[in-house]
Amino acid sequence: MLLERIDQTGSIAAAARSMRLAYRNAWLWVEAMNRLAPAPLVEKSAGGSGGGRARLTDEGRKALKEYEELYTRFQAFLEQLR
């Protein structure tokens, strides 16, 4: 969800606010994702008077798409159990 919100808002801070998540936690999650992924998922630019910006990299968009596909398949699996 955090990656999706960063993609929508262009900002880690705005994404965090929309999820009612502390900015520091969101920033730490982004740092961890970037460190653990084969390539960075989020590209950040330093803040200033206008604030910083963040955008998903191609790898980030790929990860988000793969998650959405996996989620859809999981929901279909759960439906089969009912």
pLDDT tens for 40-63 read: 999 998 876 667 799 999 999 999
Cβ neighbours for 42, distance < 8 A, ≥ 6 positions apart:
3, 6, 12, 30, 33, 34, 54, 55, 56, 57, 60
Q: What is the mean pLDDT of the chain?
A: 94
Whether residue 18 has pLDDT greater than 80? yes
Let me know if 44 is exposed, middle or buried by CB neighbors in 10 A (0-12, 13-18, 19+): middle
* Torsions phi, psi for 71 (to 5 deg): -60, -45
Can you give the pTM of this predicted structure? 0.85
| Cα distance between residue 23 and residue 8, in whole Å | 16
Write down the CATH number for the domain with range 2-81: 1.10.10.10
pLDDT of residue 74: 97
